[in-house]
Amino acid sequence: MSEALSITEARPILGDLARRVAATREPLILTDHGRPIATLMPLSPDQGQEKITRATRRPCPGQD
């Protein structure tokens, strides 16, 4: 069973969580007010070889 963490708790330690997911290969479910909204998952070895482009901040849908 995957561990779940609120986005509020995850925000300040996101880097640590990403490294843990990569090391353990176990996904982490992110929740918002107790409702699952996203999963932080490790990349497969072949995905790690792709060129990654930097994401830019965009407002979330419905949040102007």
- What number does CATH give the domain 3-43? 3.40.1620
- Residue pair 7/31 in contact by the 8 Å Cβ criterion: yes
Per-residue DSSP letters for 1-57?
--EEEEHHHHGGGHHHHHHHHHHH---EEEEETTEEEEEE-PPPTTGGGS--PPP--
Reported as a single tens digit per residue, the pLDDT across 10-50 is 999 999 999 999 999 999 999 999 999 999 999 887 776 66
C-alpha neighbours within 13 Å on the C-beta side of residue 45: 0
Whole-structure pTM value:
0.73
Domain boundary assignment for the chain: 3-43
